[in-house]
């Protein structure tokens, strides 16, 4: 069961990363509505991933690296950077989300986000996402790499 949960966790975070990329694409094209939908999808999928990941850990399913020793240092450097930035990503994403929701509530609709009271929140949102998007993408991509490496060179820890 835990292995199936792990596979669904990977699927959700892959889809979250794809939705994130689409969200960036849409906002750069000025399509705010599509951006909003893509980012809501990315956030929802990332939340589902987190629930599945924590459930998997709670069930005691864990793998450790058992691959070539010459790759061990690179693997652990990737893993450590992934873990640290994953922990940083959550508050970054929440800060970006908070400012966009607050700005949208004040604006009333996407066509009115230039209103002075709303504009300050969207400016904050933009400032937050300059850090959030690259960190989120790094965490997603390194997570996929770690999953693939452990799929090939991992052994389940019996706990």
> Which pLDDT tens digit goes with each residue over 134-154?
999 999 999 999 999 999 999
In a domain, 82, yes or no: yes
Residues 51 and 80 in one domain: no
In a domain, 23, yes or no: yes
Residues 50 and 88 in one domain: no
Final residue of a structural domain among 61, 81, 99: 61
In a domain, 159, yes or no: no
Residues 103 and 85 in one domain: yes
Residues 21 and 84 in one domain: no
Residue 131's Cβ-count burial label (10 Å; 0-12, 13-18, 19+) is middle
Cβ neighbors of 50 (< 8 A, separation 6 or more) are none
> Structure pTM?
0.89
Helix, strand, or coil (residue 60)? coil
Give helix 32-58 / helix 72-107 axis angle, nearest 10°.
Answer: 130
Residues 101 and 144 in one domain: yes
Beta bridge partners of 150: none
Cβ neighbors of 152 (< 8 A, separation 6 or more) are 67
Final residue of a structural domain among 19, 40, 61: 61
Q: Which of 55, 53, 46 is nearest to 132 (CA)?
A: 46
pLDDT band at 159 (very low <50, low <70, confident <90, very high): low
Beta bridge partners of 155: 64
Which residue segment(s) compose the domain that 150 sits in? 67-154
Count CB-CB contacts under 10 A for residue 79: 17
Share above pLDDT 70 across residues of the chain, in percent, rounded to a whole number: 99
Residues 72 and 147 in one domain: yes
Residues 144 and 112 in one domain: yes
Q: How many domains does the chain have?
A: 2
Q: What is the mean pLDDT of the chain?
A: 94
Final residue of a structural domain among 41, 61, 81: 61
Contact status, residue 9 vs residue 147, Cβ threshold 8 Å: no
Q: What is the DSSP letter of 68?
A: -
């Amino acid at each position: 069961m835990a292995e199936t949960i792990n596979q669904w966790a990977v699927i959700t975070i892959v889809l979250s990363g794809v939705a994130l990329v689409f969200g960036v694409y849409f906002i750069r094209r000025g399509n705010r509505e599509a951006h909003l939908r893509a980012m809501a999808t990315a956030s929802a999928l990332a939340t589902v991933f987190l629930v599945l990941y924590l459930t998997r850990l709670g069930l005691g399913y864990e793998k450790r690296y058992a691959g070539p020793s010459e790759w061990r240092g690179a693997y652990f450097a990737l893993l450590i950077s992934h873990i640290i930035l994953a922990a940083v990503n959550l508050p970054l994403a929440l800060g970006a989300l908070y400012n966009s929701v607050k700005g949208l509530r004040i604006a009333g609709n996407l066509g009115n986000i230039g209103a002075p009271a709303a504009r300050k929140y969207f400016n904050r949102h933009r400032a937050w996402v300059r850090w959030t998007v690259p960190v989120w993408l790094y965490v997603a991509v390194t997570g996929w790499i770690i999953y693939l490496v452990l799929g090939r060179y991992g052994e389940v820890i019996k706990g």
